[in-house]
Amino acid sequence: MKIKLTLIASLFVSATAFAQNTDSVMLRKIYDEALVNGQCYQNLHYLCKNIGQRLSGSANAQKAVEWGKKVMESYGFDKVFLQPCMVPHWVRGAKEQGFIIDGQKRTPVAIAALGMSVATPKDGITAQVIELHSLDELKTLGEAAIKGKIVFFNRPFDPRFIETGRAYGAAGDQRFAGPAAAAKFGAVGVIVRSLTEALDNYPHTGTTVYDKDGKKIPAAAISTIAANQLSATLKKSPKTKFFFKQSCMQLPDAPSFNVVGELTGTENPNKFIDVGGHLDSWDLAEGANDDGTGVTGALEAVRVLKAMNYRPKNSLRVVFFMNEENGDRGGDKYAELALANKEEHIAAIETDGGGFTPRGFGFTGLQPDALTAINQTWKHLLEPYDADKLSAGGGGSDIEPLREKMPSTVLIGFRGDSQRYFDIHHTPNDVFENVNKRELELGAAAMASLMYLIDQHGLKF
Binding site for a copy of itself (CB under 8 A): 1-11, 13, 15, 31-32, 35-36, 158-162, 164-166, 168-170, 172-173, 175-176, 197-198, 206-207, 290-291, 324-326, 352-354, 357, 359, 364, 384-386, 389, 393-397, 400, 413, 417, 419-421, 423, 425, 436-439, 442
Nearer to a copy of itself, 17 or 232 (CB): 17
CB of 175 to a copy of itself, least distance (A): 7
Contacts of 359 (CB under 8 A, 6+ apart): 386, 387, 389, 415, 416, 417
In this structure, how many other beta carbons lie within 10 angstroms of the beta carbon of residue 447? 29
- 154 vs 448: CA distance, rounded Å: 41
CB of 81 to a copy of itself, least distance (A): 26
Nearer to a copy of itself, 230 or 382 (CB): 382
CB of 160 to a copy of itself, least distance (A): 4
Nearer to a copy of itself, 67 or 421 (CB): 421
Nearer to a copy of itself, 49 or 438 (CB): 438
CB of 408 to a copy of itself, least distance (A): 19
CB of 328 to a copy of itself, least distance (A): 9
Nearer to a copy of itself, 146 or 285 (CB): 285
CB of 411 to a copy of itself, least distance (A): 9
> Would you tell me the crossing angle of helices 293-307 and 59-74 to the nearest 10 degrees?
10
* Residue 406 near residue 262 (C-beta atoms within 8 A): no
- 340 vs 260: CA distance, rounded Å: 16
Angle at 348 between CA 343 and CA 353, to 5 degrees: 150
Nearer to a copy of itself, 265 or 443 (CB): 443
* Residue 352 near residue 278 (C-beta atoms within 8 A): yes
Phi, psi of 391 (to 5 degrees): -130, 170
- 355 vs 358: CA distance, rounded Å: 8
CB of 56 to a copy of itself, least distance (A): 12
Nearer to a copy of itself, 290 or 300 (CB): 290
CB of 104 to a copy of itself, least distance (A): 35
CB of 105 to a copy of itself, least distance (A): 30
Nearer to a copy of itself, 262 or 398 (CB): 398
CB of 16 to a copy of itself, least distance (A): 8
- 271 vs 455: CA distance, rounded Å: 10
Nearer to a copy of itself, 119 or 442 (CB): 442
Nearer to a copy of itself, 229 or 391 (CB): 391
